[in-house]
Amino acid sequence: MGVRGRAWRPVPRLPLSPGPRGATFPKPGSSLYAWRRAGIPRTRSRVLRTSAAGRTAQAARPASEETARSAVPGSWACPASEEGVGTARAAARPPAPRTYTRSVSATTPTADILRAVLAASLDGLPPRQAAQAVERLIANYRGQTPTAAPILRDRGDVVAYAAYRMPATFEAVRSALAALRAAVPGWVPGTHTDLGGGTGAASWAVADVWDEAAPSTTVLDWAEAAIALGRELAAASQVPSLRDTHWQRSRISSTLRIESTDLVTVSYVLNELTAADRAAVVAESARAARTVVVVEPGTPDGYARIIEARDALIAAGLHIAAPCPHSASCPIERGSDWCHFAARVSRSSLHRQVKGGSLPYEDEKFSYVAATRVPVEPATARVVRKPQIRKGLVLLDLCTKDEGLRRDTVTKRHGALYKEARDAEWGDAWPPGQGQE
């Protein structure tokens, strides 16, 4: 059967063999290269060509019908069934206008709502133009950017980069906030300030983690175009806490002043600041907030900035809630390794086009620190590397409260703990139940 939402495309001419109910399949001996080049899954379970009657109906379809259908944005065609009955529903039904609110409801997960509104925001922006904008912006972010010059300068830049980066930022910040919430059970922030929030990815993460009682949020950023798009996306989300978000243009630098708040998030911002501005922003966050969460890319440089922020937050009187199980010095020798984690992100078509990949997902590597003045119950240990699952055993690399870095070997002799170890993920608290609500 055809797939709703996909247009017809010609089937490549590969050697065919008879199949059930008149269907035909590429022969098993056909070149694997030809299969992949054609984009056809190597399986006999999918009907690749319709029956003879269906092919006759397809050939008889007027060319004008195909032309008119392809000219209607959002139209779809359903090819002939295995019995050869062709349908053309799009020709008789005009497509509904595409809006931010399509497929969004009160019960839709926040991540799915975000993907829906971002997809709608790309309407009217040619894919090639969006990909070129993303590539240029990535190059700018990897370079040195003065604080006074926002990288996102117009709507085209903002839309393209938000569609590309916002889901990854959301997942990374959500992971950090989830670890924070587990370490301070029962604490719910009433107010939240997002520094350098851009289009508001961290605000979406806060709304997801504290969905039952999300705090009142203020987003501060110096790019007017980013604030404008963030406001549109939040308004379209139908999430009350996001729709009530306050957006304020403000330069993130040593001159920044923050009103007292429960939670401050600083995500993927420190790299854009000078060393003096970084120190000032972290110090101001520690002064104004009860809890501070800083997230940076999971690179050696990103980790170095996290360590600087961690030291400054401890010096300001805050206690580490996550990921570290302690507020002592990091046991990792600087320059030899770095602490980072990974969050799974669903790839959009723009992701695949820019990165040239075919997988429907990617792992966003990030480093973070969460510090608080609230009474904290940190995990006894945390898994700091991807668990190594071997035959009959699991190797866990841990950062512990009293012993620093340690590797535990969990075998079948440990009974239920072995099953927990096989299910453990990079970044989880260990043992199970520690640092969790």
Contacts of 218 (CB under 8 A, 6+ apart): 191, 192, 193, 194, 245, 246, 247, 248, 261
Per-residue model confidence (pLDDT) at position 153 = 61
Do the Cβ atoms of 230 and 198 come closer than 8 Å? yes
Question: How far is 196 from 294, CA to CA, in rounded Å?
Answer: 11
CA dist 36 and 47 (Å) reads 17
Sign of dihedral through CA atoms 252, 254, 259, 260? positive
For domain 110-372, which CATH number applies: 3.30.70.1530, 3.40.50.880, 3.40.50.150, 3.40.50.1970? 3.40.50.150
| 414/75 Cα distance (integer angstroms) | 57
Give the model's pLDDT for residue 71: 36
Contact criterion met (CB below 8 Å) for 180 and 370? yes
Q: What is the pLDDT of residue 307?
A: 96
Cα–Cα distance, 166 to 122 (Å, whole number): 13
Judged on CB neighbours under 10 Å (0-12, 13-18, 19+), 230 is buried
Contacts of 72 (CB under 8 A, 6+ apart): 90, 94, 95
Beta bridge partners of 389: 394
Residue with tokens 């020798």: 333
Contact present, 68 and 91 (Cβ < 8 Å): yes
Which strand (E) or helix (H) includes residue 39? Answer: none
DSSP letter, residue 225: H
Predicted local confidence at residue 122, as pLDDT = 73
pTM (predicted TM-score): 0.71
CA 142 to CA 22: how far, in whole Å? 55
Residue extent(s) of CATH 3.40.50.150 domains in the chain: 110-372
Please check whether residue 16 is in contact with residue 27, taking contact to mean a CB–CB distance below 8 angstroms: yes
Cα Rg of the chain, angstroms: 26
The pLDDT profile of the chain, 437 residues, written as one tens digit per residue, is 444 544 544 444 444 444 444 444 444 444 443 334 444 444 433 333 334 444 444 444 444 333 333 333 333 333 333 333 333 433 334 334 334 443 444 456 888 899 888 888 777 677 777 777 777 766 665 555 544 555 666 677 788 888 888 999 999 999 999 999 999 999 999 999 999 999 999 999 999 999 888 899 999 998 888 999 999 999 999 899 999 999 999 999 999 999 999 999 999 999 989 999 999 999 999 999 999 999 999 999 999 999 999 999 999 999 999 999 999 999 998 888 999 999 998 877 766 766 666 778 889 999 999 999 999 999 999 999 999 999 999 999 999 988 899 999 999 999 999 999 999 999 999 988 755 54
Rounded Cα gap, residues 224 and 261, in angstroms? 23
For 339, what's the count of Cα atoms within 13 Å in the CB-facing half-sphere?
26
What is the model's pLDDT at position 188?
96
pLDDT at 211: 87
